[in-house]
Amino acid sequence: MLAGGEPMLRKDVIEAAGSIRNIIFPIFTNGTFFTEKCRAIFDKCRNLIPVLSIEGGQEATDTRRGKGMYGRLLQLMDDFAARGQIYGASVTVTRENYKEVTSDEFLETLAARGCKLVIYVEFVPMNENEEQLAPGTEERDFISARVNDVRSCRDDIILLCFPGDELELGGCMAGGREFFHINSHGGAEPCPFSPFSDINVRDTSLREALSSPLFRALRTEGLLEGEHEGGCVLYAKRHEVMALVNGNN
Binding site for ligand SF4 (CB under 6 A): 124, 163, 166, 172-174, 190-191, 193-194, 232-234
- Pairing assessment for the beta strands 48-53 and 88-93 based on DSSP bridges: parallel
Q: How far is the CB of 121 from ligand SF4 (least distance, A)?
A: 9
Residues in a beta bridge with 112: none
Nearer to ligand SF4, 48 or 124 (CB): 124
Minimum distance between the CB of residue 124 and ligand SF4, rounded to whole angstroms? 6
As measured in angstroms, the least distance from the Cβ of 227 to ligand SF4 is 11
* Nearer Cβ to ligand SF4 (73/124): 124
Tell whether omega for the bond before 163 is within 30 degrees of 0, i.e. cis.
Answer: yes
Cβ within 8 Å of residue 199, ≥6 positions away: 187, 188, 208, 209, 212, 214, 215
Distances (CA, A) of 48 to 11, 100, 101, 193: 12, 28, 25, 24
User: Of 69 and 241, which has the nearer Cβ to ligand SF4?
Assistant: 241
CB of 4 to ligand SF4, least distance (A): 17
Q: Indicate the length of the chain as a whole number.
A: 249
Nearer to ligand SF4, 19 or 249 (CB): 249
